[in-house]
């Protein structure tokens, strides 16, 4: 079956952003200059620390007449502080919750299909995509204050791809409104009503500037038309790799085809480096990843575990030219169940910049995981790994999915 992927188009300006410390100022600057519309989607919208500055910017934009529409995931963002709910309502910020979690929580089978993508589009002229939630780098909702910033990336985009981001966010917003209306609730799951006035169309963007030459594409993953685009893009790029593959991924439990692609690349002489989660965050994701390391290590894949803070990145660089930045983990929750969004880029300057940051995070090559030590892990750890993998397989079976 051919890999049906959207073509990469030229004329894009790209800016790599690391962590909320780089994303939030860029996002706020764009919101402050908005004249017509701001659309934002995120899994987590937290109001602690620097993330509150994004909330203030959205409030200010709505108060000056900009149409502001925010969609959050019902599991990632179970509630909004009452003071912020009041502020947003008074300002006119329109807010909807994707798949609010019912009384059964994650025990309900349908609750595993989440909105995990992080997208923002401003006035149809600038977009943001990546793995960074509206969440301060040094704050974790489950673990409190962090000693070092979370490691994650986003990309700021101008050019043709922006229209695709706008269309995707608009389509989801309209579907949520229609779904709630069919249930007899004008905006059930929405905290605040949208502005009644329509947003006027904006003029066509001017021709791209000379520096806007990067080729890029938006890859969406959903449970309808685009079920496998992101994984297929990874497999195609890995299969074409000639010298180097660097992947940084927070929750790494790839399926058989993706594992075989990585092992095959390593065996044919490609340097394959994986930067993976080294800190315990969630039981299932942390332990379920480790049973698959053995075959990759045997094939010659270098595995590094990131431990200064939580690794939350979902990025890759191949042959210092192809790169991807987005929200999709390489695990079944992302690749089979969640709504995700990645930007794929073919541009040497952008890829080299991301490569440099990843190599800095990897650090000393001698710190790579030792295959011999991996083979002698304690029995207790192996038991936990088997249990976590079993839980993941059971969760997928309940969804009618097989992946591992």
Tell me which residue of 142, 161, 139, 134 sits closest to 73, measured CA to CA: 134
First to last CA, the chain: 20
* DSSP symbol at 115: B
Residue with tokens 């500037």: 209
152, 314, 331, 347: the catalytic one is 314
Active-site residue flag, 143 = no
118, 166, 273, 304: the catalytic one is 118
Exposed/middle/buried for residue 180 (C-beta within 10 Å: 0-12, 13-18, 19+): middle
116, 166, 273, 304: the catalytic one is 116
152, 319, 331, 347: the catalytic one is 319
Q: How far apart are CA 84 and CA 46, in angstroms?
A: 11
123, 137, 140, 152: the catalytic one is 123
Tell me which residue of 229, 242, 294, 230 sits closest to 272, measured CA to CA: 242
Active-site residue flag, 12 = no
* DSSP symbol at 375: H
- Residue 90: C-alpha distances to residues 55, 63, 83, 145, 354 (Å): 13, 9, 11, 31, 41
Q: How far apart are CA 340 and CA 327, in angstroms?
A: 6
Element (H, E) at 383: helix 379-398
Q: How far apart are CA 5 and CA 7, in angstroms?
A: 6
Residue 139, phi-psi category: left (phi > 0), alpha (psi -120 to 50), beta (remainder): beta
| Residue 366: half-sphere exposure toward Cβ, Cα within 13 Å | 0
What are the two backbone dihedrals, phi and then psi, of residue 200, each rounded to the nearest 5 degrees? -70, 150
Active-site residue flag, 401 = no
Active-site residue flag, 73 = no
Active-site residue flag, 304 = no
SS3 letters across 35-72 = CCEEEEEECCECCCCCHHHHHHHHHHHHHCCCEEEEEE
Provide the annotated active-site residues: 116, 118, 123, 312, 314, 319
């Amino acid at each position: 079956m051919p890999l049906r992927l959207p073509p990469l188009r030229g004329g894009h300006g790209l800016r790599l952003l690391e962590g909320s410390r780089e994303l939030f100022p860029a996002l706020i600057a764009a919101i402050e200059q908005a004249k017509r519309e701001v659309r934002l989607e995120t899994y987590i919208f937290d109001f602690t620390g620097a993330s509150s500055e994004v909330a203030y910017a959205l409030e200010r934009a709505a108060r000056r007449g900009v149409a502001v529409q925010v969609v959050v995931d019902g599991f990632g963002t179970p509630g909004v502080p009452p003071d912020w709910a009041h502020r947003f309502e008074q300002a006119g910020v329109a807010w909807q919750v994707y798949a609010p979690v019912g009384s059964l929580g994650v025990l309900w089978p349908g609750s595993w299909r989440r909105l995990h993508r992080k997208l923002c589009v401003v006035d149809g002229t600038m977009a943001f995509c990546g793995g960074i939630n509206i969440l301060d780098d040094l704050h974790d909702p489950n673990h409190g204050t962090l000693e070092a910033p979370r490691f994650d990336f986003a990309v700021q985009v101008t050019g043709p791809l922006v229209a695709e981001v706008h269309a995707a966010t608009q389509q989801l917003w309209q579907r949520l409104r229609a779904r709630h209306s069919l249930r007899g609730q004008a905006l059930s799951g929405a905290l605040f009503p949208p502005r009644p006035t329509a947003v006027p169309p904006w003029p066509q963007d001017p021709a791209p500037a000379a520096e806007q030459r990067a080729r890029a594409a938006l890859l969406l993953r959903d449970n309808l038309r685009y079920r496998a685009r992101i994984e297929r893009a990874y497999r195609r790029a890995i299969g074409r790799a000639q010298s180097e593959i660097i992947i940084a991924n927070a929750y790494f439990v790839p399926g058989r085809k993706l594992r075989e692609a990585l092992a095959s690349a390593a065996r044919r002489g490609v340097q394959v480096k994986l930067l993976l989660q080294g800190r315990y965050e969630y039981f299932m994701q942390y332990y379920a990843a480790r049973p698959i390391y053995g075959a990759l290590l045997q094939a010659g894949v270098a595995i590094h575990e990131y431990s200064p803070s939580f690794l939350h990145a979902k990025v890759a660089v191949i042959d210092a030219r192809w790169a991807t930045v987005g929200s999709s983990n390489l695990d079944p929750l992302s690749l089979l169940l969640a709504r995700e969004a990645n930007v794929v880029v073919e541009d040497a300057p952008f890829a080299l910049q991301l490569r440099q940051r990843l190599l800095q995070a990897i650090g000393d090559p001698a710190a790579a995981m030792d295959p011999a030590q991996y083979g002698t892990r304690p029995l207790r750890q192996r038991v936990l790994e088997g249990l976590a993998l079993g839980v993941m397989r059971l969760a997928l079976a309940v969804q009618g999915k097989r992946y591992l």
